Structure 1
């Protein structure tokens, strides 16, 4: 994000929070990427004292919107979040290509939809679970009919469905519980290479950018590294005879 985009986002966040505070109405940003969420967190102390929440449609979401809530809203009430969950799948599973995240996202963008209106897309068993702003949900279900050469159908997810992305358990031993060691374990890197990603501002712990390789995440923290992927630090379980710490992580598939 360049300086111009940074300034625009800061002004937009201040404008929306002020409108909520002065008029006592709910206001929302579009979906924010991790670096944009970092800007939001940096601005929090400068905003009016309104209630807010960050939401992406499911607990582990990477892209989230900031919701500023009126005084009469219950704190952290998800019913105020204008996000809709959609399921897109091939019309006939017998005649379908191997479609990727990039294929689905590219097809959505070809409909003229801005990236900030769409949150995470998660592929599972030939179904693309996607999260979008409520105002464009009907347009997507109506117009999203093809990905590459494959005809698809898109509809709102079943009422009451809870979505949990698939994870893969990865275990190993660490000299110490540091961010660079966990990133190295998750993505099969050397600690030196992992540190380069962290130093470059690519690592986010629970949505906050962390540039210190020695930072110690707490068990349960969700760590995302832009360009590599995302995982949850599941915790530790004892030490080896040489004093190394056994650690478990759940890497999102």
Structure 2
């Protein structure tokens, strides 16, 4: 029953993508989705080529954003700026960045991603209207659908027991570089399961189940094959566990194992 419901939801989403692409093509305008999670992005990027009428570019406010909006761009507009242009040069994604900070840092709690998300959703905002939430010592930066930003700034006054204020940030001020720790090790071969085992310090047998269970993504695309071979620079995400970048491959050891370097985001 649950599988049938999931398949129905995926078909509706595919239909919605096709409608947005058709509208962009027919009206010669750029159309946008709401924020898409990794699974929804995978559905979009694995659609048959003849399903869409336009180009698709995704962005979530900063490099490596997990939740992203997709922009459907007609060829005439896409070619006007050139294939190599930064998407921000020609698409104004309808989202804003809002900084949420305690009114008094001295008496503030240690707030987590879940705390900020819960406070926002309690305002009646749907999850699809919110992008990534970046927490730091000063508070958090939240990416929100433009229509929701004003609501958050007006209504969000408390996160858990901490009084907060929310202010709009200029898009030009978002220069976020996620913190990471470098992981070095050796693998018998560069496969998805061996990199996961190294990246998360776990056994291959446990992580094999995550791959086959549809919880592992490479550059936003769902991968269900343990033997999939990532390339240098690929970002590998595991739902519920985190993500890392396959940074580089080194030489071979005396035991004929391959040296690799990963960057695990913290």
User: TM-score normalised to the size of structure 1?
Assistant: 0.94
Moved more, 127-136 or 21-30: 127-136
Question: Given that residues 31 and 119 in structure 1 are in contact (C-alpha distance below 8 angstroms), is that contact kept between their aligned partners in structure 2?
Answer: yes
Gaps of 5+ in 2: none
Task: Output the CA distance in 2 between the equivalents of 1:239 and 1:144.
Answer: 54
Query: Which of the pair is proportionally richer in helix?
Result: 2
CA RMSD of aligned residues (A): 1.6
**Residue-pair matches, total:** 253
Matched, 1:237 2:250: yes
Moved more, 128-137 or 44-53: 44-53
Q: Unmatched 5+ residue regions in structure 1?
A: none
1:193-244 per-residue CA deviation (whole Å, 9 max, x = no partner) reads: 1111111111100011111111111111011011111111111222222112
Which is worse superposed, 157-166 or 20-29? 157-166
Structure-to-structure mapping, 1:39-54, within 5 angstroms: 39-54=43-58
Matched, 1:72 2:77: yes
CA spacing shift, 1:43–1:179, aligned 2, 3 Å: same
Q: Residues of 1 paired with 2:245 and 2:48: CA distance?
A: 25
The answer to whether 1:190 aligns with 2:195 is no
**184-193 vs 107-116, greater mean Cα deviation:** 184-193
How does the TM-score come out when normalised to structure 2?
0.90
> CA separation of 1:10/1:159 partners in 2, compared to 1, >3 Å: closer, same or farther?
closer
Match of 2:149 in 1: 137
C-alpha contact 1:181 1:194 (8 A) present in aligned 2: no
State the partner residue of 1:16. Answer: 20
CA contact (8 A) 1:145 1:151 kept: yes
Runs of 4+ deviating beyond 4 Å: none
Larger displacement relative to structure 2 (70-79 or 46-55): 70-79
